A = this chain, B = another copy of it.
Amino acid sequence: MPRKVDVEQQKSDIAEAVWRLVGRAGLEAVSLREVATEAGVSMGRVQHYFRTKEAMLLYGLRLAQRRMHERIEARLVRRPDPDAEDVLRAVLEEMLGGDHDTRQTIRICVAFLPRALDDQQVADLLYADDAEIRAHAARVIGQAQAQGRADPGLDPEREARILWSLAGSLGVEVAFGRTSVEEARATLSYHLDRLLGSSARRPERADRT
């Protein structure tokens, strides 16, 4: 077997160039030539790794979402023995777009929204975790009610829906520069305090415990 390179590395290098272009000016800004230039490689290379433009875009979206998942996991690792609420908070915090890559990912997802209308594959990618996380949020809210922390008059399903919409919306505002991360965080924190009780919970594990 001949010449070997790190295929995944090459593909992700190209995908990241796609991200930058999409994040900067939307899907229309993406052409094979532009991607090649942005990645600092030849157009032949791009075509070697992606048979079609469509495949390249889909790979970029998929990878962006995987990276976002990894960032959420990383947040959880920093917590000792995370419970369901920790998981929810980690997801919400990630969605706010404090991280530069997250903002990029949010912009990418927004750019793909129109495609989801008639492309089931894109729709599946974009909405993959929605139902699961909403259900999870509802459970956490119900749990807080059972513990007497949350207003028993709340409808967990509806509140979960609202929370999810709110976090998503704040993330988009941040990603498109309409709101600062601090503002978004303060707003979400305010909402969560009213929903689950004070957010002053167990702190993240400090470095070198």
Contacts and interface: CB of A to CB of B under 8 A. Distances in A.
A111 interface: yes
A168 interface: yes
Interface residues of A, number: 35
A114 B117 contact: no
A95 to B, nearest CB: 12
Interface of A is mostly: helix
Contacts of A111: 114
A162 B166 contact: yes
Given A25-B117, A110-B114, A161 B176 contact: no
Interface string A72-114: 0000000000000000000000000000000000010011011
A127 interface: yes
A165 B95 CA distance: 14
A34 interface: no
Interface string A28-47: 10000000000000000000
